[in-house]
Structure formats: C-alpha cells, structure tokens
Amino acid sequence: MLSTFHLRTFLAVVDEGSYSAAAQKLHMSQPAVSQQIRALEEQLGHVRLFRRVGQRMLPTHAGEELLPSARELVTLAERAAENISALRGHVTGRVVLGCTPSSGERLLPRLLAEFHTQFPSVNLELEIAPTESLFDGLGERRIALLFVEEPQRRRGNEVVTLGSEALVLVAPTSHPLLKQEQVPPGVLREEALLLPRAGSPLRRVIEESLRRRGVAPTDLRVSLESDSITALLQGVRAGMGLAFIPSSCLPERNDGLGQIDLAGQTLQQEWCLVRLRERSLPWAVQALYDFLAGPQARALLLKAGVVG
C-alpha cells in the first residue's frame, strides 16, 4: 500500500522542482526527501520517478503516470482527516490561495489575518503568480481558491464578484498636470506612463478603460512595465512618468506623489473569488471561501476602498 507521506514528498518535489526546495517546503532535510523518494520508487517496482534536466528535477514517464493518482490520494487522505476533525468542531487543514502580483498582495493579508483569528488551525499558503498560471493551478486542484482582478468565466469554475476599486492616476508632486482641476484623457498621449505588464489583468483594465475614452493602447508612451505596484510608485517618485495605482495600494503618506483628476468616469478594477464548481469542498477550503465571500471580508474590503 502506498504511503501518503511518500506521496506528499513526491508531490513536493514535482511542484518545487528540486529535492532541496521540497525539503524546505516540508521542513525536512534533503537526505530525508531523497530517502522518501527512493522508498516510493522501490514500492513501485524500482522505477525511476525523476530525471535531472539542468537544475531541475522533472518527472519521468512513470512519475507523470503517478502524478494524478498521487494528488487524488493525498487530497482524499487530507479531506478525511479534516472531516473527522470538523465533526469535533475543530476545522483544520491546509488551503492554497492564489492571487496576482498586484494589489491582491496588499488586500489579502488583511483578510487572511482576520480569518486566522477565527480558524487558527487552518494552514494558509499564498501563491502569487500570473493569471494563466493561477487558473492552471486551480484546474490541477493544486490551488483551491483564486483572488483575481477579472471575472473570467471558464467552464467548471464558480465566480463571485466581491467589489470594485478605483484606479488613481498618480504623478510626482512637481508635475504641472496637478495644477489642473480636471485633465482630459487625451493628454495621456503626451505623457510617459508606468504600466503593469502587457497582458496582465490590470493592464487590460487600464487599456480598455482608456480605449472607451478615445485613447488607444498604441497611443500610449510606456516608460516602464512592471507587475510590482511598489516599483511603479517608486518610478513615479523618480520622475519616470504617471501611473494608475489601485486605491488600496496608495501609501498612507503620499510623499512625493500627487493625484491627477482625470475627466470622466473613474477607472475601476473588479475583485473576484474563483473556485472549482464542485459538490463539496474540504472543510478548511469551505471555511475560507465562506469567509471571503461573506460580510466580514466585504467590510474589510470596503474599509480598504473596495466597494461591493
């Protein structure tokens, strides 16, 4: 009979790409990880489960064949343990939550801190990655929930819109546009802009909003692209140009920054919670989902500038 402990170690190596990274994730030594993999290979008839390609350990054909079953078996074992604990009124387990590298990094910790006070035995892992990678992880059941800026409708997914927040156009305090009460969107054709990476959800929101105001993406002069809000803010302070920043990411003290009032309706980005459409979820995942979609989280989001 296969050991779920061996299978968890196998999955950690697959996900992390090396024995050393898997050991760090599992709080084990690297020799212990190697020993667990060898034991699993012996159980399976002395097959090789990994091959080295450059600096990474990749699954062999046998490893690829084992992968879906290993994920399913580990998930079933974890769900069984969580369900027994929940019967005693004690919610435990591990939940992997995904978000994109933008304001989600600032919003989510506020929500997760409150959740942790209510469910201290639930272990949370936050994976920060581009949208496509997050949805791949969701489809593979490696990630349980997504907190993303776009209401992407994909087969098999359930989406809850949590609210929307304003995108604020910021400039260095010396910029002449700050002296105007309102600035026509067309003026942006003449300004250097610092924008999120092309193809990212926030970049699509900005480009589509400006397109509706008569400013095409090809009209924009982009001086810096980055998914890091911190990098964009620092670039604005350094005089590289203007940037659209989610209101929840604005520093409490706008040292070196000013806000430009762009004429017309304020640019907005939405926040959505995404899960697979399944009949039942592990208790820990269900608890986090209910919290994030519930009134407590919405009150915290409202306080941060996200309006439901």
Give the separation between CA 302 and CA 215, rounded to whole angstroms.
30
Give the separation between CA 208 and CA 200, rounded to whole angstroms.
12
Topology of domain 1-90, CATH: Arc Repressor Mutant, subunit A (1.10.10)
Q: Where are the beta strands (DSSP E) in 131-256?
A: 145-148, 157-172, 192-195, 221-225, 242-246
Summarize pLDDT for 237-257 with one digit per residue, the tens.
999 999 999 988 888 776 889
Q: What is the number of residues in the chain?
A: 308
List, in order, residues 6 or more apart from 147 with CB less than 8 Å away. Answer: 97, 98, 99, 104, 107, 108, 271, 272, 273, 274, 292
What architecture does CATH give domain 91-308? 3-Layer(aba) Sandwich (3.40)
Sign of CA dihedral 304, 285, 144, 122: positive
* pLDDT recorded at residue 90: 66
Summarize pLDDT for 264-308 with one digit per residue, the tens.
778 888 899 999 987 778 888 889 999 999 999 999 888 888 886
Instruction: Give the Å distances, CA to CA, from 270 to 50, 109, 162, 165.
Output: 41, 18, 8, 7
* pLDDT recorded at residue 223: 95
* pLDDT recorded at residue 233: 93
* pLDDT recorded at residue 170: 94
In the predicted model, what is the mean pLDDT of residues 177-190? 91
Summarize pLDDT for 44-83 with one digit per residue, the tens.
989 999 999 988 999 999 999 999 999 988 887 877 776 6
* pLDDT recorded at residue 130: 85
Domain boundaries, the chain: 1-90, 91-308
Maximum distance among all Cα pairs of the chain, rounded to whole angstroms: 75
List, in order, residues 6 or more apart from 299 with CB less than 8 Å away. Answer: none
Candidates 4, 286, 13, 276; CA nearest to 146 is 276
Rounded CA Rg of the chain: 23
Alpha helix positions (H), 17-123: 19-26, 30-43, 61-87, 104-118
Give the separation between CA 194 and CA 171, rounded to whole angstroms.
10
